[in-house]
């Protein structure tokens, strides 16, 4: 697989990294070249637009964007690229992530964002969904995804409650 990033992972603040490191870990486990960066829709709007606009030309195929509050980072990313954008709502202190969820999921028609669950589940699933998207044209990644599911199944079937 190419060394240049196939996936870029953006987050609105370094405070999101505790959760978003799980996206980084899953992508690394699947051997997917990726790049993680802090860029904000409201604190660094021009830099965010420039980075996402240039992603396709660099060979990036999937954009993952995580933000908390009403930050709307994933929607802003989607406005600047035709690459698939996956949004991860961060759990906010004030509203437990309901604000983040709505500002990510409720995109008006025309500019889609595929929105995952709030917090860690969304962080991990964004990576797994990115692998599935890349896997449509990469049989070796599809095989790794099948093995991941098989291992997960085997682990659950072995659980003992005693
Ligand atoms: C959003 O605001 C970030 O994505 C983060 O989840 C939230 C709070 O950011 P900090 O104030 O912790 O930097 O832009």
From the list 103, 28, 39, the residue with the least C-alpha distance to 65 is 39
CA distance 142 to 162: 35
Q: Which atom of ligand 1 is nearest to the CA of 71?
A: 14
Question: What was the pLDDT predicted at 60?
Answer: 98
Provide mean pLDDT across the span 28-50.
98
Q: 68 CB under 6 A from ligand 1?
A: yes
Angle of the 120-135 helix axis to the 17-29 helix axis, nearest 10: 30
Question: What was the pLDDT predicted at 2?
Answer: 62
From the list 36, 43, 41, 32, the residue with the least C-alpha distance to 10 is 36
What pLDDT band is residue 32 in, cutting at 50, 70 and 90?
very high
Provide mean pLDDT across the span 64-90.
97
Task: Give the closest residue (by CA) to ligand 1 atom 6.
Answer: 68
Q: 15 CB under 6 A from ligand 1?
A: yes
Task: Give the closest residue (by CA) to ligand 1 atom 14.
Answer: 12
pLDDT tens profile 96-144: 999 999 999 999 999 999 999 999 999 999 999 999 999 999 999 999 9
Question: How many angstroms is it from 118 CA to the middle of ligand 1?
Answer: 14
Q: 90 CB under 6 A from ligand 1?
A: yes
């Amino acid at each position: 697989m190419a060394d240049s990033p196939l996936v870029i992972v953006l987050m609105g603040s370094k405070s999101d990294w505790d959760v978003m490191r799980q996206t980084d870990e899953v992508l690394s486990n699947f051997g997917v070249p990726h790049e993680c960066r802090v860029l904000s829709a409201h604190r660094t709007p021009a830099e965010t637009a420039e980075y996402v606009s240039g992603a396709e030309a660099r060979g990036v195929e999937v954009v993952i964007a995580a933000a908390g509050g009403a930050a709307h980072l994933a929607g802003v990313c989607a406005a600047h690229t035709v690459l698939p954008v996956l949004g991860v709502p961060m759990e906010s202190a004030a509203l437990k992530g309901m604000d983040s969820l709505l500002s990510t999921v409720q995109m008006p028609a025309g500019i889609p964002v595929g929105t995952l669950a709030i917090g860690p589940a969304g962080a991990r699933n964004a990576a797994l969904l990115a692998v599935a998207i890349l896997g449509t044209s990469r049989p070796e990644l599809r095989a790794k995804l099948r093995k991941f599911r098989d291992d997960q199944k085997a682990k659950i079937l072995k659980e003992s409650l005693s």
